[in-house]
Structures are given as structure tokens and as C-alpha cells.
Chain A
Amino acid sequence: MKLSLGPITYFWTKEKTLEFYQQVEKSPVDIVYLGEIICSKRAVIRFSDWMEIGEQLAAAGKEVVMSTMTLLEAESELKMMRRICENDRFLVEANDIGAIQLMKGKPFVTGPSVNVYNQRALAKLAKVGLCRWVFPVELSEETFADMQEERPEGVESELFAYGRLPLAYSARCFTARAHNLPKDDCDYKCGEYPDGMTLSAQDETRFLSLNGIQTQSAHTFNLLAELDELRSLGVDILRISPQSEHTLEVIEAFHNAMQGEESPEDAAARLNKNMPTGPCDGYWHGKPGIADSVLDNYK
């Protein structure tokens, strides 16, 4: 089983991003997904910069994948997607069906926002070049097991295993809205929230995290404790979604547990203290996403 690092979903400074990937070079992660997948206005890191970061990671022995945007509206966004899809250096993660169209039969990965919910969809995409798919986050272990059984040859399965869950995308920027600003004049407010802006329910439940046009879970999804089960299901890759702090520790914890140096349960429990809100794993167990099987907190 391999370990991957998903694309950064937040708006970090160029400096922080470069520093982050320098650390990743030395980490035990196998695959690194790169690129801006949320908002095209966050253009402080250009396509050529991403390619350069990719080269450095590749030189450090990492497999590099370039990720495309999730919600495409403007022609300028399609143009960037074309550049990524036409790159002949790195594999591409399609986060929208539009990117699959542009791959024209070349191998590609589907990200968590491309809905592949059944064996027939998986088989169809395999025919047009799918070589790896990230299991949609709202689906359960039961569905994953069923799809693994009928998985087409040559298609790897990747699970979103750690991070705040990607839940929704909109034309509207909620971070700008929270500051009473329109999206076209957003002042790049999302840059002030390196892990998103927490939204709480009226009973003070910390519920969601606003990340520009994206809405994430406030809780951090964590499947590390299920490691033995995941192995027996034949998962090829576990994905960690970057947070502004402690991501390297998360990678270490997964790596150690995978190497048998620490029990998965202990390693998973150790990560709780660094989560912005706390853990959840409900989706995997067929429950509301916010539920957590260890805390047994589902009302």
C-alpha cells in the first residue's frame, strides 16, 4: 500500500507552499498531487512554478500528479485545464469531467469530486483511460468492497484517508461573503485562513469549514485506525489531505503504522490532538459523515 499527499486546498503564500514541499521531499510519502483545485483567482503559483515543484519532488523519488480545478466556469479556467492536460511530463488528476474529455484517452486519475459511484461507471472510465480513481468520500466501506470486486484490470484504488472532507462547491465565495465582500473584490480573504474558516451550528457544534467557494467538514476524517481492514480490501493508495500544521506528523504516523512500527489505533489516536475540530469517520461506516466510531458520538 502506498501513501499519497492530496493537493493543497487552501490559499497559502508561495513561500509557505514552497517550504511545505521541500519538507515533503524528505517525507515517506510516495505520490504527491500538485496544483490549485479550488479558485483560479489564487494565482500566486503559476503553472511553470508547479511544474518546477513537480520536478524537485520527482528528483526526490516521488511520483507527481498534476491536479485540475474542480469547478470550471470561465474560459480562462478551461485554458489552464488544457495546459495541465497537455503536459507530457506528469500524470493528471481530473477533478471535473471536462478534464477527462481533454485527456483524449491518455491515462488519468479521477479525484474525489468526480462521481464514480458504481462498477459500470468505473468500467466505462477505464475504457477511456482511467488508471486510478479516488473513492467518493460520502460512500461506505460496503460500497468500496463491492466496487473493488469488479474493479477493471489496471485501475488502482485510492482512498481519501485523512483530512477535512471536501463537501461542496459553489459559484459564491463564502469566505468573501463572511467579510461582506463580493467575489470579484474578495481581497483574497481566504489567505487569512490557512485551514478554512470554521462555521458553527446554533448549538455550537463546530460543523463546517469555509474555504472560498468550497465547503469542507470542520472535523478531520481519519481512517488510520482501519488500516488492517483497508489492507484486506486491497486498497492501493491512502491519501492525506494537507493541513497548514502537522501534516508531516500525519504522514509519519501513517507510515509508521504501515511499517508495523506502531499500532494503527495508537497512531490514529495520537493525531486527534492536532485536528482543528476533532475526528470523524462516519461515511466509511455508512453513517452521517460527521459521526465518529471511536467517540461513538452519533445522536
Chain B
Amino acid sequence: MELVCPAGNLPSLKAAVDNGADAVYFGFRDDTNARHFAGLNFSPEKMAEGVQYAHDRDARAFLALNTFPQPEGWGRWQDAVDRAAEMGFDALIAADIGVLDYACNRWPDLNLHLSVQGSATNYEAIRFFHENFGINRVVVPRVLSLPQVKHVVENSPVSIEVFGFGSLCVMVEGRCLLSSYATGESPNTFGACSPASAVEWRETDKGLETRLGGILIETVEKGENAGYPTICKARFEVGGNTFHAIEEPTSLNTMEMLPELQKAGIAAVKIEGRQRSPVYVKQVTRVWRAALDACAKDPEHFKPKTEWLAELAKVSEGSQTTFGAYHRPWQ
């Protein structure tokens, strides 16, 4: 299985490549990718440097171009496709039908991967993207159980990449508008969930209050961990109870499932976290490299080492991890 790691900047890219990533994915410094945060991502110059760095060390470079252009901004996405092809990226990770259509017509030799934002949860959808745009890999949304993932692999005409570790989207990706409902900007339209400009922190007697688009979505008492505020990980009142009505602040970690994923024929494991630091990328890449190698060597006896899990727990959101939808009872 290929290890695909995130890079929000050049130091992270180098950390990924140096610590054993088979491929690294990154984006331009604008709304053409789904981690559009201030200070993150690559200028065209840095990007060329990044591609070169990866290629010199036998790692592949993927461009994340996975948001949905509207007519007014179409030119930015078209330019990004052209630049990616000219820079020698090994694949373009895209979600929008228009972008895929442009890319496969203008650059027929460019590898196309369907982003998780493309919401392809079933093999009929995958066949559509394969037959119409020639995609050769799909990143499947974090909504399928393990048997369902296996079923997709068995029936898919292209290779399958799954999320292995990182922040957990509870909603099917590419179809979640919760952020824009509160702030006007969503991953689809703007490339960010909970854009920083809409987040407001306020210290009060009750604790640290967090507002998103002016709506109070969380109050964190002293001593509690305050993660980055997203609607799906906040506490709300439903039916007279206040609780994490959608999901708790938690990270996805599928390391224990590696032998099963390998047996199922999964082509690649993706690490989430382009918004995280180079230290995160370094630690997570190193641990996952070791785990993938151990699993490839002896899947029968594979068990995540305690020190690996401890290392990952340190960088997990909310310091707890879950199998997410892979494990049926979570649903």
C-alpha cells in the first residue's frame, strides 16, 4: 500500500518525503484546494521546488485541486490544471465534473484521481468518473464500513485510496454545507471548513466561548482542550440534552485495520492534515511508514506497537482516536 502524506508548506513536504512517504499531496495558495487557510500552501515557485524535491527522492507529487469552481472564478482552476500538467505532477486530485472534464480533454496524459470531495461512495459513481474522465484512482469518503469498502474495491474499475489517519469528517465529503450555513463559506465554495475569519474566541466566566459566524457553538471550561471549532464536533442542545450531537472531537486512526485493508486490495492510505505542522507530518509519516512496512512483511502477526499509538495519540484531535464509519457500531 502506498503512503500518501499531506504538505501545507515546503518544510512539511520535505518532512513527509524524508520520513518515508511514497507520495505527497499539496495545493496552490488559493481557494482551488480544500485547505485554504492563511499562511498555508504553495506559491508556484515553491511548488516547482516541492515537485523537484519529491521526484529527486523517488516520491510522487499530487496536486490537490479539489474544490468546486463557480463561473466567476473558473479561470483560476483552469490555470491551476495547466500549471500542474506543466510542472510534472504525477497526479491531479480533483472533485468537480467541470475541472475533470477540462483536465482530461486538455491534458490527456495527466493522471487524474477523484478527490474524497467527489463523494463517490459506490462503484457506479466510480465507473461514471472512470468512463467519462479516465480517472485511475478514487479516494473514498469516510462513511463506509470495512465490508462496504471491500465491496467497492471488488467492483471498482480503478484503485482505491482510503483515509488512514487524521481529522475525521463525519459527513460525506463534498456534500457538507454546515460551514457555509453559518459563515457563508464551505469546503466546496471556499476551500475551508470554519474559515478563520468567521471564528471568534471570547474568554468569559463560564469558560472560553467559541462563535462561528456569530453563533455560539462551544464553551470550553478551564482545563478542557479546545480544538479548532467545527460545527460537527461541537456541543448542542437536542431534546433537552446538551452533548456532542454529531461527533466528539476525535481523530480517525485505522492502523489496527491495516492487515484487513491490505487484504482487501486497498492501493493507498492517506494521511489527513495539510493544515498541521511539519512536526506532525514528520511524526505521523514516520510511524505510518514503520506500520505499513511491518504489515507488508508479516500481516498475520501485525499489531500496532504501543509506542506508535502513543506517538499518534500526541498529535490527535481531542487526544482520542476512532475507527469511524469503518466500524459499524460507530454509525
- In the assembled complex, which residues on chain A have CB atoms less than 8 Å from the CB atom of B235? 202
From the candidates B72, B132, B176, name the one contacting A143 in the complex (CB within 8 A): B72
Q: How far is the CB of B264 from chain A (nearest CB, A)?
A: 16
| B112 in contact (CB, < 8 A) | no
| A53 in contact (CB, < 8 A) | no
The answer on a CB contact under 8 Å between B144 and A207 is no
Interface segment among A19-27, A44-52, A98-106, A236-244: the answer is A98-106
- CA distance in complex: A125, B128 (Å): 11
| B108 in contact (CB, < 8 A) | no
The answer on a CB contact under 8 Å between B143 and A197 is no
| A60 in contact (CB, < 8 A) | no
From the candidates B119, B144, B174, B331, name the one contacting A184 in the complex (CB within 8 A): B331
- Chain B residue at minimum C-beta to C-beta distance from A85: B124
- Provide the A115-143 mask, 1 if CB < 8 A to any CB of B, else 0: 11111111111001000000001110011
The answer on a CB contact under 8 Å between A150 and B71 is yes
The answer on a CB contact under 8 Å between A118 and B188 is no
**Most B C-beta atoms less than 10 A away, residue of A116, A199, A283:** A199
- CA distance in complex: A122, B216 (Å): 38
A97-B125, A288-B181 known; A202-B216 Cβ under 8 A? yes
From the candidates A125, A165, A170, A282, name the one contacting B170 in the complex (CB within 8 A): A170
Interface residues of A in 74-120 (CB under 8 A from B): 74-75, 77-78, 81, 96-102, 113, 115-120
The answer on a CB contact under 8 Å between A102 and B236 is no
Residues of A within 8 A of B (CB-CB), count? 75
- CA distance in complex: A205, B102 (Å): 43
- CA distance in complex: A207, B68 (Å): 25
The answer on a CB contact under 8 Å between B214 and A299 is yes
From the candidates B72, B119, B123, name the one contacting A146 in the complex (CB within 8 A): B72
Q: How far is the CB of B326 from chain A (nearest CB, A)?
A: 9
A146-B70, A170-B170 known; A98-B128 Cβ under 8 A? yes
The answer on a CB contact under 8 Å between A118 and B68 is yes
A73-B144, A96-B122, A139-B189 known; A101-B176 Cβ under 8 A? no
- Provide the B95-126 mask, 1 if CB < 8 A to any CB of A, else 0: 11111011000000000000000111111110
- CA distance in complex: A75, B268 (Å): 23
- CA distance in complex: A183, B328 (Å): 9
From the candidates A101, A121, A168, A174, name the one contacting B175 in the complex (CB within 8 A): A168
- In the assembled complex, which residues on chain A have CB atoms less than 8 Å from the CB atom of B180? 138, 283, 288-289
The answer on a CB contact under 8 Å between A73 and B148 is yes
| A67 in contact (CB, < 8 A) | no
- Chain B residue at minimum C-beta to C-beta distance from A182: B329
- In the assembled complex, which residues on chain A have CB atoms less than 8 Å from the CB atom of B176? 167-169
From the candidates B96, B118, B184, B236, name the one contacting A201 in the complex (CB within 8 A): B236
Interface residues of A in 262-290 (CB under 8 A from B): 282-283, 286-290
From the candidates A100, A122, A142, A282, name the one contacting B184 in the complex (CB within 8 A): A282
- CA distance in complex: A121, B70 (Å): 10
Interface residues of B in 200-253 (CB under 8 A from A): 213-219, 235-239, 241-242, 245-247
A124-B101, A174-B246 known; A102-B124 Cβ under 8 A? yes
| A203 in contact (CB, < 8 A) | yes
- Chain B residue at minimum C-beta to C-beta distance from A177: B245
- Chain A residue at minimum C-beta to C-beta distance from B118: A97
A115-B96, A173-B331, A205-B216 known; A71-B181 Cβ under 8 A? no
The answer on a CB contact under 8 Å between B120 and A205 is no
Interface residues of B in 126-145 (CB under 8 A from A): 127-129, 131-132, 142-145
**Most A C-beta atoms less than 10 A away, residue of B68, B102, B217, B247:** B68
| A18 in contact (CB, < 8 A) | no
From the candidates B72, B142, B177, B218, name the one contacting A168 in the complex (CB within 8 A): B177
Place the interface of chain B in its size category: 35 or more
Q: How far is the CB of B142 from chain A (nearest CB, A)?
A: 8
- Chain B residue at minimum C-beta to C-beta distance from A100: B128
- CA distance in complex: A143, B98 (Å): 15
- Chain A residue at minimum C-beta to C-beta distance from B69: A118
| B182 in contact (CB, < 8 A) | yes
The answer on a CB contact under 8 Å between A73 and B237 is no
From the candidates A101, A286, A287, A290, name the one contacting B125 in the complex (CB within 8 A): A101
- Provide the A46-73 mask, 1 if CB < 8 A to any CB of B, else 0: 0000000000000000000000001111
- In the assembled complex, which residues on chain A have CB atoms less than 8 Å from the CB atom of B99? 120
- CA distance in complex: A143, B71 (Å): 7
Q: How far is the CB of A153 from chain B (nearest CB, A)?
A: 18
- In the assembled complex, which residues on chain B have CB atoms less than 8 Å from the CB atom of A183? 331
- In the assembled complex, which residues on chain A have CB atoms less than 8 Å from the CB atom of B142? 171
- Chain A residue at minimum C-beta to C-beta distance from B176: A168
The answer on a CB contact under 8 Å between B245 and A178 is yes
| A225 in contact (CB, < 8 A) | no
Q: How far is the CB of B281 from chain A (nearest CB, A)?
A: 28
**Most A C-beta atoms less than 10 A away, residue of B171, B175, B182, B189:** B175
A288-B180, A288-B183 known; A101-B127 Cβ under 8 A? yes
| B315 in contact (CB, < 8 A) | no
A-B contact pairs, 19 of them (CB 8 A): A71-B175, A73-B122, A96-B122, A97-B125, A98-B120, A120-B99, A121-B97, A138-B180, A138-B189, A167-B176, A168-B176, A169-B175, A173-B331, A184-B328, A184-B329, A215-B178, A287-B184, A289-B182, A290-B215
- Give the B-binding residues of A (Cβ under 8 A): 70-75, 77-78, 81, 96-102, 113, 115-125, 128, 137-139, 142-143, 146-147, 150, 165, 167-174, 177-179, 182-184, 197-205, 207-208, 210, 215, 217, 282-283, 286-290, 298-299
Task: Beyond the given A179-B239, A203-B216, please list 15 additional residue pairs across the A-B interface where CB-CB is below 8 A.
Answer: A72-B121, A73-B148, A98-B128, A117-B68, A117-B98, A118-B96, A167-B176, A167-B178, A169-B172, A171-B143, A172-B246, A184-B329, A202-B216, A215-B171, A217-B181
